[in-house]
Structure 1
Amino acid sequence: MSAKPPPRFNLLPILLGIVVFLVGAVWWKANQKHESVEDRERAAAEARRTREQEVTTKAAQQQLDEQRRAFDAKLEKEKSRTAYDKSVDALIQQQDKWVDAMKLAGNSPRASLAGPIARLQEVRRETAQLVLPECLSGARLYLVTGMDQTIDGFLSFLRNDPARKYDYYDLFAAGEKGVLAYQDAMKRCGMGSAPAGQPAERE
């Protein structure tokens, strides 16, 4: 009886398994690398979108801030202009009161001048007490100075001092010059320049 030969060890399945494992490992690694690249690209794209959104948001905020500042400046300018117009109206109103008081005083006999002179002095005080912007305040100095000289002229006329009989003529003339200087100063205020050479106001 002959002996059976020992069974041969088959390496083929093992080699195939190793090959399959290596192929799978290579594929998995390549796939992981591909996914890693995609993840980085997605992260980079997301970061770009975030930066772009921040830049857009910042630009929009800056535009809103500029619009708000422009609106505030316009509103402030309108408020300032309204206040200036009110000041002009107040000063012109005092000028009109002065003209009316002058008509009354000019048509009153010497013996009846005390009342009209008191009215002139009242209008003068009201005018001096107005709170005005710088340019109008400078113009007002001319007007008040002219008022003072005119009132002094009526007082001189009322006293009827023979030694200074014609002083009131000079005072009236000086008062008229003051009013004309005031009118010129008001025109300059309208052009945005303050009157020069302002006289000192007498309280």
Structure 2
Amino acid sequence: MTAWVVWTQVRTTGSGQRLVYGMSTVSLLRTVPGGHERIKVIWDEGKEPIQHPHVITMKVANRGRRDIANAAFNAADPVEFDLSAQILGPLDAPIGHQWEIEGSKLRLRPTIIHRGPSRWNKWKWVKVDRAKSSSAVLSITLLVDGRSPELTLTEPHPLIDVDVQKGNPDEPDLGRALTQTTMALVAALSVVLIVQLLALFNVTHY
């Protein structure tokens, strides 16, 4: 009975949906000695050089146990982030259906975000779906102009029953791995207890 209670608590804790967001920043001038005098960064031909150019890679990752569906975005509103720097444009790919830009704001439009890959599912090892694995992390690389870019989530965010946290989207989900390990241990403990109870029952009836 104790093992079953623990297993139930593990399975029902939280909504099972968690979004982690974060960004990396590289200054294009500070990395070069005397860069401000020797190197000029120009985004559009004919315009003045960018004063404080930075390359930012923004990432969001689903670290929950379930996919985050379009319906999780309340009223189809996007999740908005403020980079505290003027966004000049994307460097890796054109803005598609997932992202939109306005000033220093970067918005993630309603889209399905698959949960990260896991090899443990319903008491058996399964093959990782590489297609879903790649879509578990959404990223975009941007050129911005700002002295000290910082990432801020605009509150309140529109995601329903989704725990949104700032962190490193590239780090493995140790929390979910611990939960899966706990489930495996609880299952093993349950089997041991059942075997012991059956053995005790047989001894009692002889």
- TM-score normalised by the chain length of structure 1: 0.25
Greater percentage in strand: 2
TM-score by length of 2: 0.24
Query: Which structure dedicates a bigger proportion of its chain to helix?
Result: 1
